[in-house]
Amino acid sequence: SSAMAVGGGCPFTGSNAKAEATKAKCPFDNTPADFDMFEGPYQVDPAEALRWSRDREPVFYSPKLGYWIVSRYEDVKAVFRNNDVFSPSIALEKMTPNSPEANAVLEKYDYGMNRTLVNEDEPAHMERRRVLLHSFLPEELAHHEEMVRKVTRQYVDRFVDRGEVDLVEDMLWEVPLIIALNFLGVPEEDMDRLREYSIAHTVNTWGRPTLDEQIGVAEAVGKFWQFSGEVLEKMRKNPNGHGWMDYSIRKQKELPEVVTDSYLHSMMMAGIVAAHETTANASANAFKLLLENRALWESICANPALIPNAIEECLRFSGSFVAWRRRAIKPAVVGGVDIPEGAKLLIVMASANHDERHFENPDELDIYRDNTTDHLTFGYGSHQCLGKNLARMEMRIFFEELTKRLPHMELVPNQKFEYLPNTSVRGPDNLWVRWDPSKNPERTNPEILGSRYPIKIGPPSKQDLSREMRVETLERIGENILAVTLKDPNGNALPRWNAGSHIDFEVGDFSRKYSLCGEAGDNSTLKVAILREDNGRGGSLHIHQTLREGMSVRIRGPKNHFRLNETHDDYVLIAGGIGITPIIAMADRLKSLGKPYQVHYAGRVRANMAMVGRLMRDHGAVTSLYAGDEGQSLDLAATVAGIGAQTHIYSCGPESLLNALQDLMEPIADRLHIEHFSAVATGLDPENETAFEVELADSERTLTVAANETLLDALEAAGIDIQSDCREGLCGSCEVRVLDGEADHRDKAMSATEHATSDRLMSCCSRAKKGSRLVLAL
Ligand code: HEM
Ligand code: FES
């Protein structure tokens, strides 16, 4: 849980919400009837403004807006996932409908913006998306890297000696626009006019424009539309470049019924909008966040390998799209709430991205977070942002150039950040930074101007996420057990962790998971206890042999796959051997919550039962110990039989203990909680699947796909790079060509007709028909 949740304070008044509840209501603590998106808390901090909803009413109807608001991670993702029920057709509809006068202006310009990819229903959408996603493949995006770097450097050159600049005005607003125009393939000589017309669409679509504003916007939109058409006609004459529009024009010749004229004209205009403001705002949010957290800014200056994940974390923490829309075209259920047919839904990604049910310490900016790419700022599933890897590449280059050339820049203090009032797009209007130009590194070391960090296109690499820690103390707390206390080498605070959290501990080539077992509330150290397993895979032995105080190690996490649900009435905690580590943290937590609980701790030999002293000191009255070498044993059957009707059991220990508990508790399985270290399920039932062979024609190899793995897994394990996003058959990015064999299609990215006739398959979920062998063009 977060700083705010823990403190319970109102972010507006600074008072304690609970204590003051009777006096003045905290404006962040809202109700469905009062909730407003155009003013108040939502405009200040959309994630915080929906905390009450995430906690108490995660799906609710807002009478003021006429929308159903969805605020939890799982529910937002479920709506994105299912576009048979939740149509994207209203995604770009105006929140505030146009006046007749504004519509008359648009008519004057023959304005005919039609469906573009983002608000299109199936089956038209997926067919088009799959035809057009070619320009977004890594090898295609690589053609634009040089251009992105050149434009970025040009802008930085202009202000690098100035000492103070508004990053939004002087760089982050314009550079993504110029990159968007280049990406589309717009001829150089037409860029200036398009730049002039592509004015803030945000107010028009997601804001509450006044009547006068509406007419002004309509004039600009009309002109933009007209001129986009002219530029398109010109591009048709020579569509040979790497631009997305060039490619689309070429594809039209092959597939005129998929890539229509109306589509091309609409996309010409919509493409600029999709690529521009999104990336400009996301960049401004990210610079603001990282400069506000100076220690993190310094970390990325010192180690550019951290930049990709830091950007991703900023997209999670404060994305440029905070909400998106869908319409229920059938009666539906979201998060247990009935949604009527025709209902409009506002799914709030900003809220989902701060949902503690999915992200550890969601209100902390943690650039090492290893599931940060799960954020929903790019949407999810069949409409997930096609341009996300272009946006990532741009932002990485912005950060790389500025951390290299102006590492000493800082936010101008006491500036007030203004945001354009609207429901969906978010970024500061200005971002003033300053620095001492005489200290610019390039003045003494001009080589840095030529240096560049290699850009990898795609999501951040997990390899770069580990953080360095120092071994503060080592203590033997059992015959074969080492307690290890870790500290940040620079003394920085560490991320908060909860009972049940673990870290991945990397020593040499080994990486092992260990539960955290330090004292609650200590965020300056992390503590684990490591049992030497002489017959294990060698990791613990290696750690015991090589670890020394003062040594530097690398860790990932903390993460929690063993969460304590704090809402139950009664708890029994059962630990076997070294499994005491998460259990003692849970006992500490339950004690501080004042919940009834009991602890059973069994070990084979007393000498290897760790932390008995601390356990008995803090939990002695409710703890029973069973040392095998002293003839004591835990009677699991009797313990389970004796629990109350509301009791939940949390257990950690050897496989045999957990299996026995699972058997005993089969009829009440929902009251048994054990750790699941493998968080990703493939959704495959190995009992009903069969293994099959695939032959890779280009690389002349044959692989076997086991019954419990996907084709994509097998290809990746064999070192073959395949694009993938959703990994559940929705987005179309993992397509491969089948040269021979019969595919068993299981995706939703292709239509039934295509399944019958196409030579493609989605490798994340489709397999070979029983008895068939697939030959792939890989
Ligand atoms: C779709 C966000 C940059 C092109 C989307 C969607 C979101 C989004 C939320 C809708 C997703 C859904 O319905 O599931 C963003 C953000 C960006 C960004 C936050 C920057 C940080 C770009 C760029 C391009 C782009 C640079 C380049 C052209 C598109 C396209 C779609 C889309 C074509 C429609 C895909 C479809 O419906 O199949 N984006 N976007 N976006 N975006 Fe982006
Ligand atoms: Fe999305 Fe396969 S369809 S990764």
Q: Tokens for 73, please give them.
A: 């991670």
Decide if 177 contacts 280 (C-beta within 8 A): yes
Higher pLDDT, 509 or 643: 643
pLDDT band at 678 (very low <50, low <70, confident <90, very high): very low
Instruction: Give the pLDDT mean for 122-129.
Output: 90
Which of 9-13, 454-458, 525-529, 556-560 has the largest mean confidence? 525-529
Which H helix or E strand runs over 487?
strand 481-487
Interstrand relation of 701-705 and 647-652 (parallel, antiparallel or unpaired): unpaired
**Tell me, what DSSP letter sits at residue 172?**
I
Is residue 650's pLDDT more than 60? yes
Is residue 91's pLDDT more than 70? yes
Decide if 703 contacts 710 (C-beta within 8 A): no
Helix-helix angle 388-405:294-302, to 10 degrees? 90
Q: Is the CB of 177 under 6 A from ligand 1?
A: no
Nearest to 602 by CA among 670, 660, 648, 556: 660
From the CA of 275, how far away is ligand 1's center (Å)?
7
Share of the chain above pLDDT 70, in %: 94
Q: Is the CB of 762 under 6 A from ligand 2?
A: yes
Is residue 24's pLDDT more than 60? no
pLDDT band at 586 (very low <50, low <70, confident <90, very high): very high
Best of 378, 727, 748, 758 for a ligand 2 pocket test (most atoms within 8 Å of beta carbon): 727
Protein residue whose Cα sits closest to atom 39 of ligand 1 = 385
Tell the burial category of 481 from Cβ atoms under 10 Å away from its Cβ (0-12, 13-18, 19+).
Answer: buried
| Mean per-residue pLDDT over the chain, rounded | 89
Higher pLDDT, 719 or 359: 359
Number of the ligand 2 atom closest to the C-alpha atom of 731: 1
- How far is it, in rounded angstroms, from Cα 130 to Cα 147? 26
Interstrand relation of 647-652 and 570-576 (parallel, antiparallel or unpaired): parallel
Q: Is the CB of 731 under 6 A from ligand 2?
A: yes
Is residue 483's pLDDT more than 90? yes
pLDDT in tens, 134-143: 999 988 999 9
pLDDT at position 440, please? Answer: 97
pLDDT at position 203, please? Answer: 64
pLDDT at position 241, please? Answer: 87
Protein residue whose Cα sits closest to atom 18 of ligand 1 = 278
For residue 384, give the ligand nearest its CA: 1
pLDDT at position 623, please? Answer: 97
pLDDT in tens, 314-335: 999 999 999 999 999 999 999 9
Q: What are the E-state strand segments in 88-228?
A: 164-166
Best of 114, 353, 385, 386 for a ligand 1 pocket test (most atoms within 8 Å of beta carbon): 385
Q: Tokens for 656, please give them.
A: 């045999």
pLDDT at position 212, please? Answer: 82
Q: Is the CB of 725 under 6 A from ligand 2?
A: yes
pLDDT band at 259 (very low <50, low <70, confident <90, very high): very high
Task: Note every long-range contact of 409-415, with CB atoms under 8 Å and residues 24 or more positions apart, other chains counting.
Answer: 409/291, 409/433, 409/434, 409/435, 410/291, 410/294, 410/434, 410/435, 411/288, 411/291, 411/292, 412/164
- DSSP one-letter string for 256-304: TTTS-HHHHHHHHHHHHHHHHHHHHHHHHHHHHHHHHSHHHHHHHHH-G
Q: How far is CA 644 from the centre of its chain?
A: 40
Q: Is the CB of 79 under 6 A from ligand 1?
A: no
pLDDT at position 412, please? Answer: 97
Per-residue buried b or exposed e for 322-336, using 16+ beta carbons within 10 Å of the residue's own CB: bbbbbbbbeebebbe
Q: How many CB atoms within 10 Å of residue 293?
A: 15
pLDDT at position 22, please? Answer: 44
pLDDT in tens, 58-86: 999 999 889 999 999 999 999 999 988 99
Is residue 10's pLDDT more than 60? no
Protein residue whose Cα sits closest to atom 33 of ligand 1 = 386
Share of the chain above pLDDT 90, in %: 60
Protein residue whose Cα sits closest to atom 3 of ligand 2 = 729
Decide if 339 contacts 332 (C-beta within 8 A): yes
Is residue 605's pLDDT more than 80? yes
pLDDT at position 3, please? Answer: 33
- How far is it, in rounded angstroms, from Cα 715 to Cα 734? 11
Helix, strand, coil shares of the chain, percent, nearest 5, are 40, 20, 40
Q: How many CB atoms within 10 Å of residue 262?
A: 12
Is residue 160's pLDDT more than 90? yes
Is residue 717's pLDDT more than 90? no
- How far is it, in rounded angstroms, from Cα 364 to Cα 522? 16
pLDDT band at 5 (very low <50, low <70, confident <90, very high): very low
pLDDT at position 202, please? Answer: 64
Amino acid at 141: L
pLDDT in tens, 168-213: 999 999 999 999 999 999 988 888 777 777 665 666 677 777 888 8
Q: What are the E-state strand segments in 628-727?
A: 647-652, 672-674, 692-696, 701-705
From the CA of 727, how far away is ligand 2's center (Å)?
4
pLDDT in tens, 286-304: 999 999 999 999 999 998 9
> At 7, phi and psi to the nearest 5?
-75, -30
pLDDT band at 9 (very low <50, low <70, confident <90, very high): low
Q: Is the CB of 304 under 6 A from ligand 1?
A: no
Tell the burial category of 200 from Cβ atoms under 10 Å away from its Cβ (0-12, 13-18, 19+).
Answer: middle
pLDDT at position 39, please? Answer: 78
Q: How many CB atoms within 10 Å of residue 629?
A: 12
- How far is it, in rounded angstroms, from Cα 397 to Cα 406? 14
- How far is it, in rounded angstroms, from Cα 79 to Cα 113? 26
Decide if 649 contacts 574 (C-beta within 8 A): yes
| Backbone torsion region of residue 186, taken as left when φ is above 0, otherwise alpha when ψ lies between -120 and 50, otherwise beta | beta
Cα→Cα distances 288→125, 297, 344, 424, 710, Å: 36, 10, 33, 19, 41
Is residue 4's pLDDT more than 50? no
From the CA of 184, how far away is ligand 2's center (Å)?
25
Protein residue whose Cα sits closest to atom 2 of ligand 1 = 378
Decide if 147 contacts 450 (C-beta within 8 A): no
Protein residue whose Cα sits closest to atom 43 of ligand 1 = 385
Which ipTM was obtained for this model?
Answer: 0.97
Q: Tokens for 590, please give them.
A: 């339950």
pLDDT in tens, 612-641: 999 999 999 999 999 999 999 999 999 999
Is residue 6's pLDDT more than 60? no
From the CA of 682, how far away is ligand 2's center (Å)?
13
Instruction: Give the pLDDT mean for 371-397.
Output: 95
pLDDT at position 700, please? Answer: 86
Any alpha helices (H) in 82-173, and if so which ranges?
A: 100-108, 124-132, 138-141, 145-159, 167
Best of 728, 750, 755, 761 for a ligand 2 pocket test (most atoms within 8 Å of beta carbon): 728
Is residue 17's pLDDT more than 60? no
Number of the ligand 1 atom closest to the C-alpha atom of 391: 26
pLDDT in tens, 750-776: 888 888 888 999 999 999 998 899 999
